[in-house]
Structure 1
Amino acid sequence: MTSSSSSRPKILVTRRQFQDQVDRLNEVSDALVLDRPAPAKPDELRVAATNAHGIFAHITDAIDASVMDAAGSNLKVIAEFGVGYDNIDVDVASERNIAVANTPGVLTETAADFGFTMIQAAGRRIAESDRFVRRGEWQWFEPLDLLGVDIYGSTLGIVGFGRIGSAVARRAVASGMNVIYLTRSQPEEDYGCERVNSLNELLERSDFVSIHCPLTPETNQLIGAAELKRMKPEASLINTARGPIVDTEALTTALQNGDIAYAALDVTDPEPIAPDHPLVSLENVTIVPHIASATVGTRRKMSEMTVENILATLNGKLPPNCVNADRINWG
C-alpha cells in the first residue's frame, strides 16, 4: 500500500496501476494505491476508502453503500477502469450526488479482436489441441482426430450489438460468416447482418453464439438450461461479456451431455472459477482469466481515461464519461 499524507484530496486506487498515471494523480492529490497481488476484501476496501474524494475502481471491487459511507461526504467520483460498471451501485451513488464514470470506446477494437479469436479457438478446438500435445499424445498425423468446424460459411449469432458486438460482426463478415444479431436498440451500422426478433431464433439458427450484452437484472442468467437445449449440438457458446449472463451449472451439464459442442469463456460465474469446478475439467471448454482488453496499449489508455475522469471532478467538472450525468446536480 502506497500513499502520502497532506490536506490535499485523497484518491483511492484499488489495484496496482501504471505508475505514470498514479503520478498524474499525485500532482494534484494524494493517491492511496492498494498495491497487492489480490483485490482488497470488503472490510479492507472500506477502511482504505475513508475520506476519499475519488475512487479509481476495478471490476473486482464491490463499490456499494458501505464503501460510500466510509468515504463520506468527500466522495465526488467513482471512476471505473473499464466499460462495464455493474460492480458499482449507481443508484446509491446518484442519490448521494456522486458521479460514476467508465472508459467507453477505448477497448472496443481490442475486445472485438479477442472475441473473434475466441470464436476461432472454439471452432478449431485450439486449447484442446494444445493440451493434447502437452500430454504427449501427438504421435503421428491422424486424419480424423480433433476435427473442428469451419468458421467460413457458418452462422454467428451475436447477443448484444453495441460497440463490441458490432465490431465482432465486422470481423466475422470479413471472414465469410453469416451474422445474425439480437439487440434492443437500432444499431448505427449492421454491416449487412440480419437482425432477429428473439433469442430463441438466434440460438436455434447459430453455429456460434457470442455474448456481448451488459449484465443487467434482465440479462442475469439469460442463458440457462432451456436456452442451451435450443442450440445445435454442434454449436459453440462464447462469452466475453459477464459471467452471470450464463448459468454455469447449466453450461457444465450441457457440455457434459453433448447438448452443445464447445464453450469459450473469458468470464465465469463465480469469477475466478475454482480450479476443481467440474467445468474446468472438461476438454470441450476454453477458459481464460478475463483478458479481453489485456493489451499494453489498451490497458494504458483505459488507465489514462480513468485518471482524466477523476481529474475533471477535482476541477469541479463532471467526468467526460459520466454514466449518471442526468442524475447529478453539483450546482
Structure 2
Amino acid sequence: MADRDTIFSTHTLHPEVTEALSELGDLVIAPEPTPAAITEGARGASIIVVRAPIPAEIFAREPNLRAAVRHGAGLDMIPMAAATEAGVLVANVPGVNAVTVAEHVMWSSMALLRRYPMVSSDLRNDGWARGRAHSDHGLEISGRTIGIVGMGHVGRQIARIATAGFAMRVLGVTSHPESLPDGATLASLDEALEAADILVLCCPLNDKTRGMIGRDQLAAMKPDAILVNVARGPVVEEQGLAEALAAGRIAGAALDVFDTQPLPQDHPFMALPNVILTPHMAGITAESMLRMGQGVVHETRAILSGGKPVNFCNPDVWPRYRERFLADT
C-alpha cells in the first residue's frame, strides 16, 4: 500500500471538511496557530491548509510539499516568492465568504449609526434613561452614501446589499471600473472620503494600499462619517485613527483587522466608546467555514491527483512543479 500524503492545517476545520480531507490523506492539525507550531507541524506535509501566516523557510525545507491552499482569499499569509522558488503551488478559495463579510459590514455600520456600543454600555452601567438618551442622535442607514474601497467579491456584494436593501448611493473606488456592479458610481478615493457617510475598506494589502488611510485622509472625512475596515490592519494608520476617533473628528469605526493580531489589551482602540472591535472574524460563520473548506477539499483533490488547482495563484511555478512531481507522467 502506497504511503498516504500528509495534509497539514494551521487550524481546526469544519467537521465535514475534516472528514473529506482525512479521506485524501493523513490530516494533521497544528496544536496552536503560532509560527513555531506551524513550522514543526508542517514537517512531511504534501499540502498545507493556510489560515495563519506560514514561515517562509518551510517551503525550501519540505521536499514533498506540493501546495499551500489558502482557506479563504487573501494571500498575505503565504510568502509567494518563497513558495514559487521552491516549486510549490499556491491556490486560494476566493469569493465564498463575500456574503458573510458584507453582512458584517452592514450590521456593524448600522450598530454604529444607532450608537449601539454607547447605548449598551450606558444602559448596563448607568440605567435605562442614560442608554435611551442616545436614541435622539441615532441615524438611519437607508439613503446614505457608502464608499467602498476595493471592488472584488466582497465589495460587489456590499454594493448589492446597500443598493437593493437600503437604497444607498454607492461610490466604488477601484482601478478596475469594469468590476462595478449596477447602481454603483466610480469614484476616486478623495471623492469617496469627502462624500461617504460610511467608508468601507475591503481592498487587498499591497504597496499601494499600505497606509492608504492616514491622518490627511481621515481629516477629509465628514465628522459624522464612520470607517469600516475588513481589509487588513496596515491599510489604516492606527495611531491617526485612534486620535481622530478620540477627538470626534469622525463619528466611529468598526475594525475587524489590526496591525498586530491578537490586538493588545492596552491598545488605544480598547478604550474608545465609539468603536466596534471584532477579532478578524468578519468572514467567519458556520456557512462560510463550510464553503471555504469545500473549496480547499476540491483544490487538494485536484492537486493530489496530478492536476492544476482551479484558483492557481502562482502559475509561473508550473514548470518547476512538473519537474518535482510529474516528471515521469
Fold-level similarity (TM above 0.5): yes
Q: Are 1:67 and 2:61 counterparts?
A: no
Within 1, Cα distance between the matches of 2:78 and 2:64? 17
Within 1, Cα distance between the matches of 2:43 and 2:75? 21
How far apart are residue 99 of structure 1 and its match?
Answer: 1.0
| Structure 1 residue matching 2:128: 3-state secondary structure | coil
Structure 1 residues 29, 144: CA separation in 2 closer, same or farther (over 3 Å shift)? closer
| Structure 2 residue matching 1:279: 3-state secondary structure | helix
Within 2, Cα distance between the matches of 1:62 and 1:200? 33
**Match for residue 212 of structure 1?**
202
Q: Are 1:76 and 2:66 counterparts?
A: yes
| Structure 1 residue matching 2:269: 3-state secondary structure | coil
Contact 2:201 2:231 in 1 (8 A): yes
**Match for residue 186 of structure 1?**
177
Match of 2:13 among 4, 12, 17: 17
Within 2, Cα distance between the matches of 1:128 and 1:285? 9
**Match for residue 212 of structure 2?**
222
Shifted more, 150-159 versus 19-28: the winner is 19-28
How far apart are residue 21 of structure 1 and its match?
Answer: 2.1
Q: Are 1:177 and 2:174 counterparts?
A: no
Match of 1:29 among 19, 25, 45: 25
**Match for residue 3 of structure 1?**
none
Match of 2:88 among 98, 106, 119: 98
The share of aligned pairs that are identical, in percent, is 34
Aligned residues: 319
Q: Are 1:46 and 2:39 counterparts?
A: yes
**Match for residue 230 of structure 2?**
240
Within 2, Cα distance between the matches of 1:156 and 1:50? 46
Letter in 2 for 1:25: L
Letter in 2 for 1:228: L
| Structure 2 residue matching 1:280: 3-state secondary structure | helix
Structure 1 residues 176, 51: CA separation in 2 closer, same or farther (over 3 Å shift)? same
Runs in 1 of length 4+ with deviation above 4 angstroms? 140-146
Within 2, Cα distance between the matches of 1:228 and 1:141? 28
| Structure 2 residue matching 1:82: 3-state secondary structure | coil
Structure 1 residues 14, 141: CA separation in 2 closer, same or farther (over 3 Å shift)? closer
Coordinate RMSD, CA, aligned: 1.9
Shifted more, 133-142 versus 19-28: the winner is 133-142
Within 1, Cα distance between the matches of 2:69 and 2:28? 15
Within 1, Cα distance between the matches of 2:95 and 2:24? 27
Q: Are 1:56 and 2:49 counterparts?
A: yes
Structure 1 residues 142, 320: CA separation in 2 closer, same or farther (over 3 Å shift)? closer
Within 1, Cα distance between the matches of 2:9 and 2:271? 36
Contact 1:121 1:264 in 2 (8 A): no
Question: What's the CA shift string for 1:264-289, capped at 9, x where partnerless?
Answer: 11222212211221111100111111
Question: What's the CA shift string for 1:270-315, capped at 9, x where partnerless?
Answer: 1221122111110011111122222211111111111221221111
Structure 2 gap segments, 5+ residues each: 323-329
How far apart are residue 46 of structure 1 and its match?
Answer: 1.4
Shifted more, 242-251 versus 289-298: the winner is 289-298
Structure 1 gap segments, 5+ residues each: 1-5
- Which of the pair is proportionally richer in helix? 2
Within 2, Cα distance between the matches of 1:148 and 1:246? 26
How far apart are residue 321 of structure 1 and its match?
Answer: 1.8
How far apart are residue 146 of structure 1 and its match?
Answer: 6.0
Structure 1 residues 144, 308: CA separation in 2 closer, same or farther (over 3 Å shift)? closer
Within 2, Cα distance between the matches of 1:236 and 1:259? 10
Structure 1 residues 68, 111: CA separation in 2 closer, same or farther (over 3 Å shift)? same
Q: Are 1:272 and 2:265 counterparts?
A: no
When normalised by structure 1's length, the TM-score is: 0.90
| Structure 2 residue matching 1:167: 3-state secondary structure | helix
Structure 1 residues 140, 237: CA separation in 2 closer, same or farther (over 3 Å shift)? closer
| Structure 2 residue matching 1:17: 3-state secondary structure | coil
| Structure 2 residue matching 1:263: 3-state secondary structure | strand
Within 2, Cα distance between the matches of 1:203 and 1:189? 18
How far apart are residue 145 of structure 1 and its match?
Answer: 5.2
Contact 1:129 1:146 in 2 (8 A): no
How far apart are residue 51 of structure 1 and its match?
Answer: 2.0
| Structure 1 residue matching 2:276: 3-state secondary structure | strand
Q: Are 1:109 and 2:99 counterparts?
A: yes
Structure 1 residues 29, 135: CA separation in 2 closer, same or farther (over 3 Å shift)? same
| Structure 2 residue matching 1:50: 3-state secondary structure | coil
**Match for residue 296 of structure 1?**
286
Letter in 2 for 1:98: V
| Structure 2 residue matching 1:156: 3-state secondary structure | strand
Letter in 2 for 1:65: A
